[in-house]
Amino acid sequence: MELNTIKPAAGAKKARRRVGRGIGSGLGKTAGRGHKGQKSRSGGYHKVGFEGGQMPLQRRLPKRGFKSLTLKYNAEISLSDLQGLAVDEIDMLTLKQVGLVGELAKVVKVIKSGELSRKVTLKGIGATAGAKAAIEAAGGSVA
């Protein structure tokens, strides 16, 4: 094989469609666009969701609910998560290093889910009423 004899594989190179080049090409006159109408015109098409002037589906349906943008800054952990931690003094940095809460989290709250049998001290972390009672019952504290 020489560099000057290299050719692409058979069928790999397909000739582009040359429209409007006479009746014999099979793509003359209307150039494969059919007769009249918006789709036959140059630059003529509609935006996504357009239904020919009829009220589009996304506007006919009612608006419902919303997604809070501040949700990504809030995190929650359970009592069973605290039980599995090795350290006794728990703060935001500890939870981020262990990977229990995301890096973006600014507010963390402990919820009453699971069991806690060891003493833990929470610093700068909130807790629900039930979780606070469970932590204090185990001998811990919420600061």
Listed by start position, the domains of the chain span 71-142
N- to C-terminal Cα separation, the chain: 79
Per-residue burial over 83-107, b if 16 or more Cβ lie within 10 Å, else e, is eeeeeeebebebbbeeebbeeebee
For residues 78 and 114, give the distance between their C-alpha atoms in angstroms, rounded to a whole number: 7
* pLDDT reading at 136 higher than 90: yes
- pLDDT confidence bin for 45, thresholds 50/70/90: confident
Q: How large is the average pLDDT for residues 13-34? A: 94
CATH fold for the domain made of 71-142: Ribosomal Protein L15; Chain: K; domain 2 (3.100.10)
For residues 74 and 108, give the distance between their C-alpha atoms in angstroms, rounded to a whole number: 6
Instruction: Supply the pLDDT for residue 143.
Output: 83
Assigned token pair, 3: 């560099």
Angle at 90 between CA 75 and CA 86, to 5 degrees: 110
pTM: 0.55
As a dihedral over the C-alpha atoms of residue 42, residue 43, residue 44, residue 46, rounded to 10 degrees, the angle is 160
Asked if 137 contacts 121 with a C-beta cutoff of 8 angstroms, the reply is: no
